Chain A
Amino acid sequence: MSFEALRALIQGWAGAGLLPAGLTHGFLVNALLSGLVIGPVLGGLGTLVVTKRLAFFSEAVGHAALTGVAIGILVGEPYTGPYASLFGYCLLFALLVNYTRNRSNLTADTLIGVFLSVSLALGASLLLILASRVNIHILENVLFGSVLTVDDGDLTVLLVVALGVTALMLPLFNRLLLASFNPALARVRGVPVKGLDYLFIVLVTVVTVASVKIIGAILVGALLVIPAAAARVVASSLRGFFLLSVAFASVAAVAGILLPVQLALPVPSGGAIILAAGLLFLGALLARLFMKGEEG
């Protein structure tokens, strides 16, 4: 899929002074488009992640991406986009965690901690073995994201994943939420609780993996959690919770991509996006404190 026409249009507007000057660069337009595509999806899905108490799980899946990249390079996939290994390994990791969670007597955080540590150890070992084969800066991009490396292929993957996840998440939103309130009540209402449990795990995993290129393996889970957490702090209804989370994630994604370029800051995109989300969270906390103060 080619985004040439759209890129040219945005670059034209930037050249005419209608958009920030940095957007005359094609690579930054690509990064901005990916942020605009994935930000709202991560924000919306994040409300379910926070409600279902899967924040640590989403962090773990993000970290598993590091191992997925290492496996991809090991088996000869292009190091700029080892998507088969990324999706394959992360899905295997997520499904295995979920399967074991339902069958062990361990609490979820302990179990995820075990899987995460083993996965990171495997990834770090493989990357050290591969150190002679790859430029170490690639590792930086994988860990913290980069605006420089997003190409049309990455944009296509993001767009397909975002559309697919949205098409499934919106009609199933109530059912996914209900399953976490009371599984028995959900089943009486015709909700296939176990099936949806696995589906949700898959949705979180594919969105996380698709976002690794721009946000980085270390930080991608945070954009599922921080905007939703900020929205939860200030919202008073489900509508406010969802819409604010989508807005916060989108603003953080766009700000994190554009501001380092505009201000000439040597900060990776992933770091800048999460710092922006963190600032929004801080603002939400302060607003909450202010509102509480007003209430007396």
Chain B
Amino acid sequence: MTGPAILFDAVGLTLGRTVILDEVSLRVAAGTVHALVGPNGGGKSSLIRALLGQAPHRGTIRLDWPGNGPGTVAYVPQSVEFDRGLPLTVEDFLAVLCQRRPAFLGPDRRIDYGAALDRVGMAGKARRRFGALSGGERQRVLLAQALIPAPDLIVLDEPMTALDEAGIAIFETLLAELSAAGTTVLWVEHDLAQVRRLATRVTGLNRRVLFDGAPLEMLSPERVFDLFSAVPRRAGAERIAS
């Protein structure tokens, strides 16, 4: 199964008197690696939360699944909040996320956690304490959980933030594999050089869509400068009016 296409149509989100998203319309084509870039507070994470059904919003978000209905959606958050001293191994963490059988009874042998860890370069670290991992290693484990079960749509929220060079290489390989398998990837990223290299398409978001197209074409120095410096006209006008 290939991934779904995603249609955002006039999506709006206002918290109190602050406009977070303003008439955002864009289409993520099926099976592409679509990057979302923009300044902090520009609404990237809010758009993802709206897509995942976790933020009340105006407008429409539609997933067009090929075939007979919805497939598997995976999500890689920036981080997880937990007590670092918790006696929780990497394998325990994956078991908590991926299986019904209580994780304290051990891993479900029908699920190949080793293969997922192998794909993110964490083979042999299944018994390590999750809280003792470095930030980059934890990020790799978060990527591994998204591979179980194999995703049709994967939503990545700045997955490269804590990764070291080896981790970045693994991430690139993983992205290529997902893309080859037809998985739709929606990827929030701040590293524009990586977006230029790895994404099929990029959308610049600062409360509203400022540009949308092929990365090499869209990420010109002028557009990037505008994206990260300009106050979107309508949101700015609202702020002045209030």
Nearest chain B CB to A175's CB is how many angstroms away?
Answer: 9
Nearest chain B CB to A240's CB is how many angstroms away?
Answer: 6
- A173 within 8 Å of B (CB atoms): yes
In the A-B complex, the 4 residue pairs with the closest CB atoms: A242-B104, A235-B87, A238-B92, A188-B75
- A237 within 8 Å of B (CB atoms): yes
Pairs across A and B, CB under 8 Å, 26 listed: A47-B104, A51-B82, A171-B102, A173-B103, A174-B97, A181-B81, A181-B96, A182-B77, A182-B81, A184-B52, A185-B75, A185-B77, A185-B80, A185-B97, A188-B74, A188-B75, A189-B97, A232-B86, A236-B87, A236-B89, A238-B88, A239-B105, A239-B106, A240-B87, A241-B87, A242-B102
- A243 within 8 Å of B (CB atoms): yes
- A262 within 8 Å of B (CB atoms): no
Nearest chain B CB to A84's CB is how many angstroms away?
Answer: 33
**Nearest A residue (CB) for B53:** A187
Question: Do B92 and A237 touch (CB < 8 A)?
Answer: yes
**Nearest A residue (CB) for B102:** A173
Question: Do A232 and B85 touch (CB < 8 A)?
Answer: yes
Q: CA of A182 to CA of B79 in the docked complex: distance in angstroms?
A: 8
**How many chain A residues touch B (Cβ–Cβ < 8 Å)?**
28
**Nearest B residue (CB) for A173:** B102
Q: Which residues of A contact B77 (CB under 8 A)?
A: 182, 184-185
Q: Give the one of A173, A177, A243 with max B CB within 10 A.
A: A177
- B110 within 8 Å of A (CB atoms): no
Enumerate A170-201 residues with CB–CB distance to B below 8 Å.
Answer: 170-171, 173-174, 177-178, 180-182, 184-185, 187-189
Is chain B's binding surface mostly helix, strand, loop or mixed? loop
Is chain A's binding surface mostly helix, strand, loop or mixed? helix
Question: Do A237 and B88 touch (CB < 8 A)?
Answer: yes
Chain B residues with a Cβ under 8 A of chain A: 49, 52-54, 73-75, 77, 79-83, 85-89, 92, 95-97, 99-106, 127, 129, 155
Question: Do A187 and B52 touch (CB < 8 A)?
Answer: yes
Q: Which residues of B contact A181 (CB under 8 A)?
A: 80-82, 96
Q: CA of A133 to CA of B86 in the docked complex: distance in angstroms?
A: 49
Q: Mark A62-101, 1 if CB is under 8 A from B, else 0.
A: 0000000000000000000000000000000000000000
Q: Which residues of B contact A235 (CB under 8 A)?
A: 87
Enumerate A223-279 residues with CB–CB distance to B below 8 Å.
Answer: 231-232, 235-243
Question: Do A238 and B80 touch (CB < 8 A)?
Answer: no
Nearest chain B CB to A181's CB is how many angstroms away?
Answer: 5
Q: Which residues of A contact B75 (CB under 8 A)?
A: 184-185, 188
Q: Which residues of B contact A236 (CB under 8 A)?
A: 87, 89, 129
Nearest chain A CB to B92's CB is how many angstroms away?
Answer: 4
Question: Do B96 and A178 touch (CB < 8 A)?
Answer: yes
Q: If A173-B103, A188-B52, A189-B97 touch, does A232 touch B87 (CB 8 Å cutoff)?
A: yes
Q: Which residues of B contact A51 (CB under 8 A)?
A: 82-83, 86
Q: If A181-B81, A188-B75 touch, does A238 touch B52 (CB 8 Å cutoff)?
A: no
Q: Which residues of B contact A232 (CB under 8 A)?
A: 85-87
Q: If A181-B81, A184-B49, A188-B75 touch, does A238 touch B89 (CB 8 Å cutoff)?
A: yes
